Structure 1
């Protein structure tokens, strides 16, 4: 995942500016972001059900690491099963 130029707090402030009544296009021009990025951030911050975005990202990273561990262990198990079957024959 690419590192953002903006911290979660900065993103929240940008979203708050629009919530305060400014137009999204004007806010995006001031901060040098695209309107598409603004709406992507808005969707991300609204869909986490009160969970902080930093915590959500940490959980996503942990989930990725755990999936990788499961894949590695599955490969180890498969290799061991093949080795055992060869020694028993």
Structure 2
């Protein structure tokens, strides 16, 4: 599913919502659902664009580290099986 808005755009929309009189104005302006708006508010509320970029970078790094850990655990498991075999 393709996202219509990037994280940076979402943060800017939420910042605009803080200045608007009602949330409904923003919801209508950007043609998003109430649920989407409040989910964004929960996830990104109070964040700046730079914070969102840093969060995204940390999430990518975390995913990479998890992958490396999983691969290393597989190698360790394979080595244990080889060592436990009786020759």
Same fold (TM over 0.5): yes
In the alignment, the residues of structure 1 paired with residue 62 and residue 35 of structure 2 have an alpha-carbon distance, to the nearest angstrom, of 27
CA contact under 8 A between 1:48 and 1:56: conserved in structure 2? no
How does the TM-score come out when normalised to structure 2? 0.78
CA contact under 8 A between 1:18 and 1:24: conserved in structure 2? yes
**Structure with larger RCO (C-alpha < 8 A, sep 6+):** 2
Q: Between Structure 1 and Structure 2, how many residues are aligned?
A: 87
Alignment CA distance shift 1:83-1:54 (3 Å): same
Aligned-pair Cα RMSD in Å: 2.4
In structure 1, the residue corresponding to 2:5 is in which secondary structure? coil
Which 10-residue stretch deviates more, 68-77 or 18-27? Answer: 18-27
CA contact under 8 A between 1:15 and 1:42: conserved in structure 2? yes
Unaligned runs of 5+ in 1: none
- In the alignment, structure 1 residue 32 sits paired with structure 2 residue 31: yes
Alignment CA distance shift 1:5-1:45 (3 Å): same
Shift of 1:84: 1.8
Unaligned runs of 5+ in 2: none
- In the alignment, structure 1 residue 20 sits paired with structure 2 residue 19: yes
CA contact under 8 A between 1:18 and 1:27: conserved in structure 2? yes
How does the TM-score come out when normalised to structure 1? 0.76
